[in-house]
Amino acid sequence: MNIAIIPARGGSKRIPQKNTRNFCGKPISGYSIEAALETNLFEPSSLPLATIELPILHIISNNIKLLSTFQY
């Protein structure tokens, strides 16, 4: 089983709130998650989203089908 962790850090200086910002119908960080899933190397359960930002966790988990999200 392959495992990938998608980091979704808040606090970007150049693009504020970039992980929750809507870009062409989905959150920007959703593109990284979907690209990883489209490789067919990862199952949704082996692709956790790691963040300390609760808004990122809620927006991504509501828009992208992941089975595992956690806040550290």
Residue 72 and residue 67: Cα distance in Å, rounded? 17
Give the global pTM: 0.67
In a domain? residue 54: yes
pLDDT tier at 66, thresholds 50, 70, 90 = low
In a domain, 40, yes or no: yes
Let me know if residue 1 belongs to a domain: no
Domain membership of residue 40 as a residue range: 6-11+18-71
Is residue 33 in some structural domain? yes
Average pLDDT over residues 6-23: 79
- Does residue 65 sit within a domain? yes
Domain count, the chain: 1
Decide if 47 is inside a domain: yes
Whether 62 is covered by a domain: the verdict is yes
| Average pLDDT, integer, range 7-19 | 78
Adjacent-strand bridge partners of 7: 50
Residue predicted with more confidence, 4 or 45: 4
pLDDT single digits (tens) 23-65? 888 888 788 888 888 898 987 777 777 777 788 777 777 766 6
- Number of helices (H), then strands (E), belonging to the chain: the values are 2, 5
Strands 6-7 and 49-51, how do they pair?
parallel
- Count the neighbouring beta carbons within 10 Å of the beta carbon of residue 62: 8
